[in-house]
Structures are given as C-alpha cells and as structure tokens.
Structure 1
Amino acid sequence: MTQRRPRRRPGENRERLLEAGLIEFGLFGYHGASTSAIAARADVPQPHLYASFATKRDLFLSCCARAFAVPAEDSRDGNTGRTVEPHTGRNRLLMQAIAVARDPQLQESLEPLLQRFIAHSGETLSALLDDAAASLLATDA
C-alpha cells in the first residue's frame, strides 16, 4: 500500500503550481509547456491544477502577473533542489511572454502586464531582453 502524502495547507497547491509554472513556462514557453509537466513539477495531481486555474492561459497569466509584480528572489527548483539564481525565472518568463505577446488569446491580458513591468523595472527594454536571453541560453538550466 502506498503511503499518503501529508495534507497541505489551504492555498499550498496553488503556490506550488505558480512556482512550477514559472519554471516550465520560462523554459519551454506558453505553447511548449504542458499542464501535466507543471503538475508533476509541483507534485500536485493534474486535476487539482484545474481546480486552481480554469485554463492553461489563466495559469500562464497568473505566473506572469506574479513574476512581473514582485521583486525576484532566490528560489529552489522542486525537481533538482538546485537554487535558481535571482531573476532567472522571471527573465526567462519575460522572454517567453514577449514571444507570445501578440497571440490573440493572450494579447489583451498580457500586454498591460509587460508594459507595467518594463516601465517600473528601471532598465531599458534592451537591457531586460539581454538579461532574459542570457538566462534562456544558460547551459546549467
């Protein structure tokens, strides 16, 4: 008989899904990331993903809103246990978000998030994109 995992506190699955979504969307983009991979990375059953987010689009936009609204902090990759450098996840997600910013399903919600983030970042768009590209090309990802 398999051992049951301990019961999680309210909202913990949602938090784990947001963290996993940040990594998966950052690495594979909106179209390349799968909800099953995000759920697996979060150690959450896939049906629970849809209890927290109605669609993959909603999860992506929530990840973007979180990443672009708060200062980046060090975080730990749930699968490898390695510490992710500050800003790396956000930078990767920024590059992926810009790549799909004109997608008709995402444009209306995503563009204001990107514009606000760029305006408040204190950096030029060029510098942000340089950092984001370097994060995506990092060999230790």
Structure 2
Amino acid sequence: MEAGLVEFGLFGYHGASTSSIAARAEVPQPHVYASFETKQQLFLACFDRLRDSLLADGSERASAGLQRFLFQAVSASADPALRLPLQSSLVELRDALGDCRFEELLAGGARSMLSADPEPRG
C-alpha cells in the first residue's frame, strides 16, 4: 500500500504500473495481484488509506506524498472508470476536512509535484 501511495502520487493512476509498485515494495509483481485483483482496486485501496490517514491525523501532518496522492486522485476522478467510486469519496473527504483545508492539501500536492524528483525506474 505504501508503495502504491508513492508510485500513484508521483506518476498518477495511468503513469504508475503494478510492476513499478511491486519493485518499490520489493515484492514480486504476482504478490500485488494476489492482494488486489486490478490496478483500479489497488488505487482505490490507496485512496481509502489516504482518507483514513487524513481524517485520523486531523490532516495537519499530511506528508508531501499524501498530498501528491490526493492531487493525483482528484485528477484520476475524471477517468470514466474511476469517476463513480472516487468523486463521492472526494466530496465526503472535502466536507469532512472543510473546503479550505482540502484546497490547502491540493495546493500542497501541486507544489510537491512541481518539485518532485522521482526516482528513475529501473
């Protein structure tokens, strides 16, 4: 899950691959598919982890990685395959955090994306 948060945060839903997530987690790629049937299921599970973390920690200590993933999740919500499961969850998260805090986290994710120096893929 942590590897998924990082890869999806850096490269987005379409840019991240399950092979790169497996490599970052130092597990064989079949292990990813043993835990999550599809890349979409993994992405949505990562979003659930993000949401739980932001709500449990009061979002005050949101890391740059979590902010990047939130930014990427908002972007991914335009994808027809992800629109339905993500949009309502994003609205619920925004309502729980408040508009200002949600927008601060998104802006932090955008700033982090501009300064991110992703590790080269091997």
Q: TM-score, normalised by structure 1?
A: 0.72
2:10–2:116 Cα contact (<8 Å) kept: no
2:67–2:105 Cα contact (<8 Å) kept: yes
1:90-129 to 2 correspondence within 5 Å? Answer: 90-124=66-100, 125-129=102-106
Whichever structure has more helix as a proportion of its residues is: 2
Q: Alignment partner for residue 130 of structure 1, among 107, 111, 122?
A: 107
- Alignment partner of 1:35 is 2:18: yes
In 2, the alpha carbon distance for the partners of 1:123 and 1:90 equals 17
Shift of 1:123: 4.6
1:1-141 to 2 correspondence within 5 Å? Answer: 18-71=1-54, 86-124=62-100, 125-139=102-116
Paired amino acid for 1:111? Q
After superposing on structure 2, the runs of 4+ consecutive aligned residues of structure 1 that deviate more than 6 Å are none
1:101–1:111 Cα contact (<8 Å) kept: yes
In 2, the alpha carbon distance for the partners of 1:117 and 1:69 equals 9
1:69–1:117 Cα contact (<8 Å) kept: no
In 1, the alpha carbon distance for the partners of 2:88 and 2:41 equals 15
- What's the CA shift string for 1:5-42, capped at 9, x where partnerless? xxxxxxxxxxxxx0000000000000000100000100
Larger radius of gyration: 1
Unaligned runs of 5+ in 2: none
CA root-mean-square deviation: 2.0
> How many residue pairs get matched?
113
In 1, the alpha carbon distance for the partners of 2:19 and 2:116 equals 25
